[in-house]
Amino acid sequence: MTYAVGMYLADRLDQIGVEHHFAVAGDYNLILLDQLLSHANLKQIYCSNELNCSFAAEGYARARGVAAAVVTFGVGALSATNGIAGAYAENLPVILISGAPNSNDQGSGRILHHTIGKTDYNFQLEMMRQITCAAVEINDVATAPEKIDYAIRTALAERKPAYISIACNIADAPCLRPGPMTTRHPSLNYDRSSLAAALDATLDWLKGREKPVIIVGSKIRAAQAQKPAIALAERMGSPVAVMAAAKSLFPETHPSFRGVYWGLVSDPGVEELINASDAVLYLAPVFNDFSTVGWHAMPHGENVLVADPDHVTLCQTRYDGFSLAAYLEALTTRLEQRDAIVSPAAPRSFSPAPTPPDAPLTNDEMTRQIQELMTPETTLFAETGDSWFNAMRLSLPEHARLELEMQWGHIGWSIPSMFGNAIGSPGRRHVVMVGDGSFQLTAQEVSQMIRHKLPVIIFLINNRGYVIEIAIHDGPYNEIKNWDYAGLMDVFNAEDGHGLGLHVKTGAELDAAIRQALANKEGPTLIECALEQDDCTKTLREWGLQVSATNGRRAQLL
């Protein structure tokens, strides 16, 4: 087989550790898919649609650090844009690869299928430029290697998605071979004078401040600075809180850990701890309207230092040109060891007594039983909805992972993203909390979990509608058609599947269902938990009121 452009791409994916890529076939990408299939180290995983394909790749990137999705032109790629925009929002390097029209058609004035019916096919590239850090179109062999390398290296460096389209007649055209490529995060050639100034300013700022506290944000993972953050906390002896989207990105078993800081819906004692501090160090935060509870939990003033992935802001000065990891490591080295500041550990806010076994299932009882599933090997996905707030109530053992999509917040993300994550992290226990409304957007990917015999445990929370939206602003639009969610498993199984669907209405039924789920190693188990619509967390209600008020601000009349 001639060494072709498709093989060059395959070698690059192999070199950066993308063992599995996700795909949906289309006539523009079939030759390319053959090229990728011919690579001994690459495995091709098929999805039900391109939206789910892009989310599966996003979930794989959460497990492996980088991922790839292969789709067809127009109808495929545009469906994938939601998962790619989500990967951008969540700082995940996903390489979206689209088959494309024959290069001879470019500029031909011809109208092609899967386009919007204009003779200019650029609409796709223009759209992808808005949601990726690098977007390239390959219509010739000569520039193929440099474009592929540019897109991949930029995605790895910026921890953002990239886009590559390859004309269908170029994928198998002869091409030169690549040299080596590593996924090492190219450390910024940092600006030593800027870093030194940032360190001096920080040490000066810390002088005389008795109650420093560290708040870890969700970009700490993309910044690859989780270990330096732990080392700094230990050197400073200061208490540590995490922002909601960063839960599990700082070990909750660490003696410095105090809980989730989420404004008025923080863990008990945490908001008071932050408000009493005279030195708040935010590490890799994301401040948006949801994470600041309608801009109320928004840091400001001289007591706040914000260290972002590539710059530090302190006392009205911005220091940039170095990585967060470099800054934290250097700061830890320069600081004197401080004794651990003893502050009351946040009392575990959530430890309800078990409900009577035959009582109607409650949200608290369901969450209490899910807590018992949390082990160091557990990866829990919490979908947008009251699942966010239930997840915040859990105590996570060290190495347990909680995956959230709190910036993009696309309901339905959790099922396909979990599918990709489970493909990328075999050997872990995969658990999803997903609401009935979200599930209806991407349910098909449960059938791929069945196809690959993935023992994912799915808690399908059937509270009859969009409860988070009801908490923000109710109306008929929050009601949805009920499904027999557990019954879907028979549909998805067809003649050869081992998926298990269980309906539970009491604590005892849930307990039995979880035992069955743990025993089902041949496929996913969907446990449909029936809850009353008004049985949601108190924190969701409080948060919803604030978000509603923020959304409802009157227009500033000029």
Ligand X SMILES: C/C(NCc1cnc(C)nc1N)=C(/S)[C@H](O)COP(=O)(O)OP(=O)(O)O
Residues that bind Mg ion (CB under 5 A): 435-437, 463, 467
What is the nearest approach in angstroms of ligand X to the Cβ of residue 409?
5
Q: Is 269 in the site for ligand X (CB under 6 A)?
A: no
Between 320 and 469, name the residue whose CB sits nearer to ligand X: 469
- Least distance to ligand X from the beta carbon of 151, Å? 27
Q: Which two tokens stand for residue 72?
A: 């067809």
Q: What is the DSSP letter of 322?
A: S
- Report the residue from 438, 520, 537, 539 that binds ligand X according to the rule CB under 6 A: 438
Our finding on whether 437 is near ligand X (CB under 6 A) is yes
Distance CA 150, CA 155 (A): 9
358: tokens are: 């035959």
Distances (CA, A) of 311 to 317, 323, 334, 409: 10, 7, 18, 26
Query: How far, in Å, CA of 215 to CA of 277, rounded?
Result: 11
Residue 18 engages ligand X in binding (rule: CB under 6 A): no
Q: Whole-angstrom Cα distance, residue 294 to residue 24?
A: 39
If one asks whether residue 435 binds ligand X (CB under 6 A), the answer comes out as yes
- Asked whether the CA dihedral 302, 551, 272, 406 is positive or negative, the reply is negative
- Report, in Å, the least distance between residue 461 CB and Mg ion: 6
Q: Which does 216 bind (CB under 5 to 8 A by kind): Mg ion, ligand X, none?
A: none
Smallest distance, Mg ion to C-beta of residue 415, A: 14
With CB under 6 A, what is the number of residues at the site for ligand X? 16
Taking the least distance from each CB to ligand X, the nearer of 191 and 535 is 535
Burial of residue 224 (number of CB atoms within 10 Å: 0-12, 13-18, 19+)? middle
CA distance 370 to 396: 11
Q: Point out which span in 19-27, 118-126, 336-344, 462-470 binds ligand X (CB under 6 A).
A: 462-470
As measured in angstroms, the least distance from the Cβ of 305 to Mg ion is 39
Stretch that binds ligand X, among 5-13, 14-22, 142-150, 465-473 (CB under 6 A): 465-473
Please pick, from the candidates 89, 198, 411, 514, the single residue that binds ligand X as defined by CB under 6 A. 411
Residue span binding ligand X (CB under 6 A) among the ranges 97-105, 238-246, 309-317, 407-415? 407-415
Smallest separation (angstroms) from ligand X to the CB of 52: 13
390 binds ligand X (CB under 6 A): no
Q: CA 551 from chain center: how many Å?
A: 25
- Backbone φ and ψ of 503, nearest 5°: -95, 130
Binding partner at 144 among Mg ion, ligand X, none, C-beta below 5 to 8 Å by kind: none
Compute φ and ψ for 213, nearest 5 degrees: -140, 145
DSSP letter string over 448-497? HHHHTT---EEEEEE-SS-HHHHHH---GGG------TTTHHHHHHTTT-
DSSP secondary structure, 323-334, as one string: -HHHHHHHHHHH
User: In whole angstroms, how close is the CB of 531 to ligand X at the nearest point?
Assistant: 9
469 touches ligand X by CB under 6 A:
yes
Q: Find tokens 């509603």 and name the residue.
A: 548
411 binds, among Mg ion, ligand X, none (CB under 5 to 8 A by kind): ligand X
Nearest partner of 22 among 412, 405, 410, 423, judged by Cα: 423
Among Mg ion, ligand X, none, partner that 410 touches (CB below 5 to 8 angstroms by kind): ligand X
Residue at token pair 């008020």: 549
Instruction: Work out what residue 438 binds among ligand X, Mg ion, none; the CB cut-off runs from 5 to 8 Å by kind.
Output: ligand X
Q: Which CB sits closer to Mg ion, 265 or 467?
A: 467
The structure tokens listed for 121 are: 């096919």
CB 544, min distance to ligand X, A: 10
In the complex with ligand X, the residue whose CB is nearer, 205 or 388, is: 388
CB of 386 to ligand X, least distance (A): 4
Comparing C-alpha atoms, which of 431, 418, 449, 456 is closest to residue 380? 431
- Asked if 410 interacts with ligand X (CB under 6 A), we say yes
- Residue in the block written with tokens 């009353």: 532
What does the CA dihedral 546, 547, 552, 556 come to, rounded to 10 degrees?
90
Contact between 385 and ligand X by CB under 6 A: the answer reads yes
**CA 130 to CA 116: how far, in whole Å?**
19
Tokens 């806010």 belong to residue: 349
| Shortest Å distance, C-beta 83 to ligand X | 11
Question: What burial letters (b/e) apply to 282-293, b meaning 16+ CB within 10 Å?
Answer: bbbbbeeebbbb
Select 12 or 247, whichever has its Cβ closest to ligand X: 247
Neighbour-count burial of 511, counting CB atoms closer than 10 A to its CB (0-12 exposed, 13-18 middle, 19+ buried): middle
Residue nearest ligand X by beta-carbon distance: 435
Cβ 215 to ligand X shortest distance, Å: 25
- Tokens describing residue 55: 């989310």
Give min distance, CB of 387 to ligand X, in A: 6
Q: In the complex with ligand X, which residue's Cβ is closer, 54 or 332?
A: 54
263 binds ligand X (CB under 6 A): no
- Which is nearest to 216 in space by CA: 172, 173, 248, 263? 248
Partner that binds at residue 269, options ligand X, Mg ion, none, CB closer than 5 to 8 Å by kind: none
Choose between 149 and 542: whose C-beta lies nearer to ligand X: 542
Q: Which residue number, 80 or 504, has a Cβ lying nearer to Mg ion?
A: 504
Q: Which residues sit at the interface with ligand X, rule CB under 6 A?
A: 383-386, 409-411, 435-438, 463, 466-469
